[in-house]
Structure 1
Amino acid sequence: MTFINSVTGPVHTSELGLTLIHEHMRVRSESVHAQFPHLYDEEQEVAKAVEQVNRAKALGVKTICDPTVMEQGRDIRFIEKIARETDTQIIAATGIYTYNYIPTHFQTRSIDYMADLFVRDIEVGIQNTSIKAGFLKCATDAPGVTADVEKVMRAVARAHKKTGVPIMTHSHPASGTGLKQLDILLEEGANPNQILIGHTGDTDNLEYISNILKQGAFIGMDRYGLTRECSTVNRNNTVIELAKQEYSNRMFLSQDYCCTMDWFPEGVIEERFPKWSMSFVLEEVVPELKRKGVTEQQIQHMLFDNARCWFEGK
């Protein structure tokens, strides 16, 4: 057992309880907000986040991991506000979210320079606060492992080695980036038991998924409600099959829900993904998995035990 940092203070891993491993209190374009702040309504954003978190909390959720980092509009005071208003344990991340390029500031500096900034977020605090990050985040999407993306991944791995906090990735299964992420992270000496390859559930390619699992990493079946890459039925079938193969101790169920998100015009997300919410997994997915033979113990693994093991490196 060990302590990890939530945005409201240290939390013992034995106290995590039901954990949603990948949900966002808010995602927004940093540069747009900085230049055109009149486009945003902070009060409304708080209300939406509080409503979603309280819905999840009413279903038993005790802890939420929020992987919002640089280039996704991370505002640690906003996340803290939601945690306090809902009395929920929210664990924040450090890292950089990019599919292609990083700011010139980082292009002209070393990997270790970037890693040291991530370490500062973990050991000192985020954005000149005493609120500390509890895990690391990096991303690789359809463009693949660009030079800048690789720099972030190596910095994340080095910060992980210095601090012992786990790593979560954004991956793009259609182009096989989860395996490429593992190659780089493991080359840097990261502990596979503390690597979570996010969005693995966006594919039902069991061979690809098995190649990740065989290396000891966790996988995120973490985009329930988003049906563009994979339908809910296919997502469920993959989880059911992997549970039969005794991999429930390596899977997470979550939604990658964004309480507010400025990437699309208002109303577009609700129209395209009407079931997407922070409570979809608990309200609809878990009951269906149980009906299809997934056991209570396997659900316990995916929603309770695996988070503790990921943070502890088991």
Structure 2
Amino acid sequence: MKIIAVKLFLLINLATLSTCQNDKSLNQINTIQGPINVSELGIALTHEHIMSNFGKEIGESSNYDSIKLFNQVIPYLKQLKSFGVNSIFDCTTEYFGRRVDLLKKISDSTKVQIITNTGIYGAANDRYIPEFVYNASTKSISEIWIDEFKNGIKGTKIKPGFIKLAFDNDKQLSDIDKKLFKAGILTHLNTGLTLAVHTGKNIEAVKFQKELLKEYNVHMSAWIWTHAHKVDDDQILIDLAAEGAWISLDGVKESNTNEYIERIKLFKQKYLLNKILLSHDGNGFPRGRKIRKFEEIFKNLIPKMLKNGFTNEDIYQIMVRNPKEAFSIKIRRNSDV
């Protein structure tokens, strides 16, 4: 009964609230089904994996048992749809499992809007960086990603909705991670796609990204600090949010909801709820294994937030408004923001 009540609360209260907002915008977001107006995004999970082969060798990463995949993922996404989830940003990159053809079939079957990405994942000791990238110029790498945005991914009409990149944990940043991020900035300046960068608690990587964004006159709002929840010092997150960066707290679990509530309270106190993104980093089909769930925001976190002084408006801000603003396709120069 408790889960049913939570579902109804979200569906009724957030849907009602959304009709009261003036969300008209010319900005678009690319989904697997095609471009949509940002007002159609709805309740969104901003960092999940519909499926991935992370952990497998790069040459095997695109191979899936599609029947098993569909049998596991489609019912699960339909369940998430019943919670009110309308859109999911899929962070599985090329070379560790991105398959837009399979995502299209899943989206068709579930009516969940799925947003895929362009880019290359530079963490995991660079195991998912293909060899050609090391000798390629920064510009030529960006041109591959820009082409996916303009013409579609792998011969399809499906276009990416954001750029996914990553840094390793080492304080001494690798040249290849730096090069990929620079290519990401060039891609943003040619497409308006937002940079979602796996950064975790690597503060040196944060400093480097901030400096390079400034060098290219790109506003901090073009950048999402992915896995920022791994940082112990909340003040660092607050300071970056105040400068415009998006702070992605994307490791929600049943066991850490109280911790998340306290961190989100701090953002509210600082009038920075408008800079938080919430998600689970879940996985519907991790190397063919059982689901790493991405439902705890709805089953546990939001109900507890509502009991701890947060309002419907606060939830709407985090789960609907923030994803729309973070991922709207627009070139974000310091001079324009």
| Superposition deviation, residue 33 in structure 1 | 7.5
Q: Could you tell me which amino acid in structure 2 is paired with residue 235 of structure 1? A: Y
2:166 to 130, 139, 160: 139
Q: Could you tell me which amino acid in structure 2 is paired with residue 14 of structure 1? A: S
Distance in 2 (CA, whole Å) between partners of 1:3 and 1:181 is 25
1:26 to 51, 54, 61: 51
Contact in 1 for aligned 2:224/2:247 (Cα 8 Å): yes
**Number of the residue aligned with 2:296:** 280
**Number of the residue aligned with 2:278:** 253
| Superposition deviation, residue 204 in structure 1 | 4.0
| Superposition deviation, residue 31 in structure 1 | 6.2
| Superposition deviation, residue 148 in structure 1 | 0.5
| Superposition deviation, residue 288 in structure 1 | 0.8
SS in 2 for 1:21: strand
Distance in 2 (CA, whole Å) between partners of 1:246 and 1:55 is 33
Deviation above 6 Å: which 4+ runs of structure 1? none
Distance in 1 (CA, whole Å) between partners of 2:192 and 2:61 is 38
**Number of the residue aligned with 2:147:** 120
Distance in 1 (CA, whole Å) between partners of 2:58 and 2:69 is 13
Gap change, CA 1:137 and 1:288, over 3 Å in 2: same
Distance in 2 (CA, whole Å) between partners of 1:48 and 1:112 is 40
SS in 1 for 2:47: coil
- Does 2:24 correspond to 1:8? no
**Number of the residue aligned with 2:74:** 50
| Superposition deviation, residue 79 in structure 1 | 1.2
2:96 to 62, 72, 80: 72
**Number of the residue aligned with 1:130:** 157
Unaligned residue ranges in structure 2 (runs of 5+): 1-24, 331-336
Deviations 1:123-153 (A, max 9, x none): 1111121110111111113124211011110
Distance in 1 (CA, whole Å) between partners of 2:88 and 2:193 is 16
Contact in 2 for aligned 1:204/1:234 (Cα 8 Å): no
The equivalences for 1:87-126 within 5 A come to 87-99=111-123, 100-101=125-126, 102-126=129-153
| Superposition deviation, residue 249 in structure 1 | 0.5
**Number of the residue aligned with 2:192:** 164
Q: Under a length normalisation based on structure 2, what TM-score does the superposition of the two structures give? A: 0.82
| Superposition deviation, residue 47 in structure 1 | 2.1
**Number of the residue aligned with 2:260:** 235
| Superposition deviation, residue 35 in structure 1 | 5.1
Distance in 2 (CA, whole Å) between partners of 1:245 and 1:223 is 22
Q: Under a length normalisation based on structure 1, what TM-score does the superposition of the two structures give? A: 0.88
What is the percent sequence identity of the aligned residues? 24
Q: Could you tell me which amino acid in structure 1 is paired with residue 133 of structure 2? A: F
The equivalences for 1:265-304 within 5 A come to 277-304=293-320
SS in 2 for 1:61: coil
Gap change, CA 1:296 and 1:4, over 3 Å in 2: same
SS in 2 for 1:256: coil
Q: Could you tell me which amino acid in structure 2 is paired with residue 136 of structure 1? A: I
| Superposition deviation, residue 29 in structure 1 | 4.4
Q: Could you tell me which amino acid in structure 2 is paired with residue 20 of structure 1? A: L
Distance in 2 (CA, whole Å) between partners of 1:135 and 1:198 is 13
Contact in 1 for aligned 2:53/2:61 (Cα 8 Å): no
| Superposition deviation, residue 112 in structure 1 | 0.4
Distance in 2 (CA, whole Å) between partners of 1:163 and 1:104 is 25
Gap change, CA 1:154 and 1:226, over 3 Å in 2: farther
Contact in 2 for aligned 1:18/1:62 (Cα 8 Å): yes
Contact in 2 for aligned 1:178/1:212 (Cα 8 Å): no
Alignment size in residue pairs: 301
| Superposition deviation, residue 28 in structure 1 | 0.5
SS in 1 for 2:294: coil
